[in-house]
Amino acid sequence: MDGGMSYQRFPKVKIREMKDDMVKFELRETDASVANALRRVMIAEVPTVAIDLVEIEVNSSVLNDEFIAHRLGLIPLTSDRAMSMRFSRDCDACDGDGQCEFCSVEFHLRAKCLTDQTLDVTSKDLYSSDHTVVPVEFSDPNDAGEQRGIIIVKLRRGQELRLRAIARKGIGKDHAKWSPAATVTFMYEPMIRINEDLMETMSLEEKRTWIESSPTKVFDIDPVTQQVVVVEPELYTYDDEVIKKADAMGKSGLVEIEAKEDSFIFTVESTGAIKASQLVLNAIEILKQKLDAVRLSDDTVEADDQFGELGAHLRGG
């Protein structure tokens, strides 16, 4: 630090909306590097459990073995204990074999169609050796919320599927099936200022035309005062349509819109493997661990093994 100046900041988080599979929150008093680091950790580095090994005994369905194994891998599994599980490559209980209780969970599936009606084989037919790691419940909105499971394959009369599967801990960086996030997005919070003097020179019809030029409903007219007001600044998509419209109407400077560089609005959607709120907390924990690893290896030789040139650079090398 130069002259004792500190660059330390104290970010603030405000939860706006929270459901099991979605959370919306504000992150303030930090910069884009922290916001993007948090976003990328949520997508690619928060661990979950997913099927990684499939041994197929019988498969007379229309889908080949590899296709079914791939579909099984993409079924989200409840992963609340993923953070405390071991990676199979680091597990000393099974010497990295990846098939013991500390680093894996076993599943079995047995299905055979005995009638003329097509049989749907779903994630509900996967039987787990651990009641805490099971396929995520899925309900079709068109079926009035009935829990049906995720379809794996459909069988006709006489067709059969028997298999054993091993689920292991992993991260999205290795394969997308381990990513706990459906989507993680953030946007800069917009700051919108209307030039009231210029707005006074416009007729009600001109105001309406200007408001309608925005693809999203950011502005509206107050029914009492007939003034243009900002109703939902976050709906602004940085499309500049209202600015272009104001220029075209000869009212340049009618509105000023700028992004707050230290304020972000996050939307996090989970696959259901872990709750969206837990996903955010786990991501913060992993980000802290990464920063601790950099700080602790300041003067160790392992820094070069772990961080390469970055480790040497941190020590001034």
Mean pLDDT of 255-263: 90
Positions of E strands within 134-249? 151-155, 160-170, 181-194, 219-221, 228-230
- 108-151 pLDDT, tens digit per residue, is 999 999 999 999 999 999 999 999 999 998 766 666 556 678 99
Query: Residue 273 pLDDT more than 90?
Result: yes
Q: What is the pLDDT of residue 317?
A: 43
Mean pLDDT of 257-262: 90
- 17-33 pLDDT, tens digit per residue, is 999 999 999 999 999 99
Query: Residue 192 pLDDT more than 70?
Result: yes
Positions of E strands within the chain? 12-18, 22-28, 48-59, 104-112, 119-122, 127-128, 151-155, 160-170, 181-194, 219-221, 228-230, 255-270
Say yes or no: domain 48-179 is CATH 2.170.120.12. Answer: yes
Mean pLDDT of 301-309: 54
State which CATH number among 3.30.2420.10, 1.10.10.10, 3.40.1010.10, 3.30.1360.10 fits the domain covering 12-44+183-269: 3.30.1360.10
Mean pLDDT of the chain: 87
User: Percent of the chain scored above 90 by pLDDT?
Assistant: 63
- pLDDT band (50, 70, 90) for residue 85: confident
Q: What is the pLDDT of residue 300?
A: 59
- pLDDT band (50, 70, 90) for residue 314: very low
- 45-82 pLDDT, tens digit per residue, is 999 999 999 999 999 999 999 999 999 999 999 999 88
Domain ranges of the chain: 12-44+183-269, 48-179
Tokens at 197, concatenated? 């003097």
CA distance 51 to 167: 4
